[in-house]
Structure formats: structure tokens, C-alpha cells
Amino acid sequence: MRRIVVSLLKGGVAKSVTAVHLAHGLALAGYRILLVDTDVQSQCSDMLGVRPERGLAEVINGWAEPFEALLKARDNLWLLAGGTALAGVKREISRRDLAPEAVLAETVRTYEGHFDVLILDTAPGWDALLVNALYCSREILSPVSMEPMALTGLLRFEERLEVLQKYNPDLKLKWVLPTFVDGRVKKSAEIMVQLDAHYGDRLAPPIKYSVKLSEGPAFGKTIFEHDPKGPGAEGYQQLVERVLRDAPPASVVRPMAARTEAPAVGPQEPAPPLAAAAEASLSLRGKTLESLKERLTLAQEPPTEAVQARAVPAPAVPSADSTGLRIKGRPYEKLRERLTKYGRT
Ligand SMILES: Nc1ncnc2c1ncn2[C@@H]1O[C@H](COP(=O)(O)OP(=O)(O)OP(=O)(O)O)[C@@H](O)[C@H]1O
Ligand SMILES: [Mg+2]
């Protein structure tokens, strides 16, 4: 089971929208998906138009059986809902003496082998549940809206990740996803250039600003249902393809055809091992974006986990600069070309 966490410390950057659409897009592609909402706001339920009676808090507290608490939200897509009861869970986790960071990992382990991909939606801000979500994940997808504060938030998030990676060395920032991209706005163009320069290959195809995407939750529909031919659906479809293409090799992912309907309890996977203490802290505090980029490039390692795409190869995916995005009336690739020429990328 791949474990993808959608996270950034900043609020309102489209974390929940991204988690829900990645989950539904992968489910539509035939994968069995478990979407876990770790936020008290329980936005995933609203966005999918469902009202679960139980969720993550009930499972962690032992008030519901792990599989009973799942709600089938769509074909191939199960939801373990968030909700206000998670506030109590956070307090409980913080009081634990033993391995407080591994509470969610224990829950997730129960589902290992029953789903192809686990997707975790997270709340903004750094708290006990976010640490748990990161501790039990392997791939991070960080949506970044087109604001300088979101970019700063990403850098701060990476600083904190370094500490956690000492305990979960499999955890990697795999994708930075530009959201709310509007080619008519100068600020969008500037942030896109910065992201492109500093995250390069890890930059996922951008999601454009879309009124249809913002109104979808009011109908309890995803964009694939609400406006399947529009730019929002196209953007998230490209993200789905990118995530499938970037799967580490030798997967435990199985195609849908080989599966039966209801998940049943099966063999469990051991918890991720605690790493030996890292040698030196790589604190990025106070560093420039340039040195950060250098650092991040050096820090890239080949994937350690055995996860693959399904037997059918994923369709070719356009890169971030070939999605028809226009900045100040110019195609994005032109702008990028010019910046490269003048040594700014
Ligand atoms: N591409 C987009 N275009 C227009 N509106 C969008 C887009 N993506 C998300 N939105 C809207 O922006 C708002 C914030 O999105 P979302 O709730 O996913 O953010 P979030 O990062 O999960 O927020 P929080 O930090 O509060 O959990 C929502 O109203 C959503 O419908
Ligand atoms: Mg959210």
C-alpha cells in the first residue's frame, strides 16, 4: 500500500481538495483507495457529499472496529472520516508516554494489504496528529497556493520534516503542487518561477484557479462529477497520472481486477523502524532559496520502498510547463526559456 500524505503547514492551500481529487481520480483509474481525514474540520466528507457516523477518532479510541468505521464514498474509494472528536484524540496522543508519534501508524497497519493507496488529508499547523500522519507516510504531496506566504510555509515545513525524517527515513517530499494558478496575475507568475527553480522535477502539473472546483463541495460532488471536461478535472487528472508515473518500483500495488468487494482483515506490515539518530542537523533556518535548492538536490535519494504502478503503463504526462499555462499572455514555457537564458532558473 502506497502511503501519500497531503500536507502543508499553511491553511487554505487546497490540501483537502487535492486529497479528495487525488483519491477519487485514482479510484476512477481502478485502484482501491483509503482516504483518511485527520482534520477536525472533516472537509473530505463534505467534499464527497457523505455523512459518516464514525471515523478516525472512533477507531483510535477503540469505539469502532477499523473496517466498520469505513464509509464507501464512491466505487473503489473508502473514507475514514475526520471530525471534532479528533481534538480529544490529539490531547490523548500528547499525553502518551510511549511512542506518541506511532498511534496513527498502528491504525493504518490494520488496513495494510486491503488497499492500493492510502491518502491522508491533514490539518494546517503543526500538531500531534500531523506528526502522526507524517510518521506513518512515505510520500508527501504539498499543495502551494500562489502567495509568498505559502512558499515560506513550504520552506518552514521542510525544516520540520528534516527532524521527522530521522525517525521515518522513508518519508520524502515527492511533489509540490501549485494551486490556484491564474496566468493573468503577476504574483502567480512569480511564484511559479520560484517553484520551478527550486523544486524542478518535483513540481507537479499546476492546478488552475477554477470556480467549478470551489463550488463542487456545495453539491457534494468531485470535479470529475461536477465538471469532468473543465480545467479543474484536467488538472487533477494530470496529477493522478503523475502520481502513478512516479511510483517507486516493485510495487505491492495490485490492479483492481484481482480484488474482491469488501476488504477483510489480513496480514499486517511491521511499523516503520526508528532510524538511528541522524548525524548532524541539517537545519535550513536562515538559508537562502539558492542554498536550499542545492541542499534539496543533494538530499535526493533513490526510492527505498517497493511500490509500483499497475500493469497498464500510465499515459504520458505533460510536465508543469507544458500544460498550456499562460503567464501575462505568454505560454509558460516561453517565460521559462527566457529565464533560463538569463540565468534565473
Ligand atoms: N483550484 C481552485 N480554484 C478555486 N477554488 C479552489 C481551488 N482549490 C480549492 N479551492 C477552494 O479553496 C478553498 C480551500 O480549499 P481546501 O479546503 O482544500 O484548502 P485546505 O488547504 O484543505 O484548507 P485547510 O487548511 O483549512 O484545511 C475551498 O473553498 C475550495 O473549494
Ligand atoms: Mg483541509
Span 121-144, pLDDT tens digits: 999 999 999 999 999 999 999 999
Alpha carbon of 182 to ligand 1 centroid (Å) = 15
At 228, phi and psi to the nearest 5? -65, -20
Residues 20-41 pLDDT 10s: 999 999 999 999 999 999 999 9
Nearest protein Cα to ligand 1, atom 30 = 214
**pTM assigned to the model:** 0.77
Using an 8 Å Cβ cutoff, are 7 and 123 in contact?
A: no
Alpha carbon of 7 to ligand 1 centroid (Å) = 13
Residue 118 has a pLDDT of: 97
Percentage of the chain lying above the pLDDT 70 cut? 72
Please identify which residue in the block is written with the cell numbers 478516525.
Answer: 56
Q: Averaged over 93-99, what is the pLDDT? A: 89
Half-sphere exposure of 108 (CA within 13 A, CB side): 31
Q: What is the 3-state secondary structure (H, E, C) of 297-311?
A: HHHCCCCCCCCCCCC
Residue 339 has a pLDDT of: 41
CATH of the domain at 55: 3.40.50.300
Ligand 1 nearest atom to the CA of residue 179, by list position = 1
Residue 97 has a pLDDT of: 86
Secondary structure of residue 27 in the 3-state scheme:
helix
- Structurally, how many domains does the chain consist of? 1
Q: Which residues surround ligand 2, an ion (CB under 5 A)?
A: 15-16, 43
Ligand 1 nearest atom to the CA of residue 214, by list position = 31
Ligand 1 nearest atom to the CA of residue 20, by list position = 18
- Grid coordinates representing 206 are 499546476
Residues 134-178 pLDDT 10s: 999 999 999 999 998 988 999 999 999 999 999 999 999 999 999
How far apart, in Å, are the Cα atoms of 171 and each of 134, 160, 217?
7, 12, 30
* Cβ < 6 A, ligand 1 pocket: 11-17, 39, 41, 43, 123-124, 179-180, 207, 209-210, 213-214, 217
- Does residue 297 have a pLDDT over 70? no
Domain encompassing residue 295: 2-341
Using an 8 Å Cβ cutoff, are 39 and 122 in contact?
A: yes
At 208, phi and psi to the nearest 5? -75, 155
- Grid coordinates representing 178 are 501549485
Residue 326 has a pLDDT of: 45
Secondary structure of residue 198 in the 3-state scheme:
helix
Please identify which residue in the block is written with the cell numbers 533513490.
Answer: 302
Ligand 1 nearest atom to the CA of residue 215, by list position = 31
Residue 248 has a pLDDT of: 64
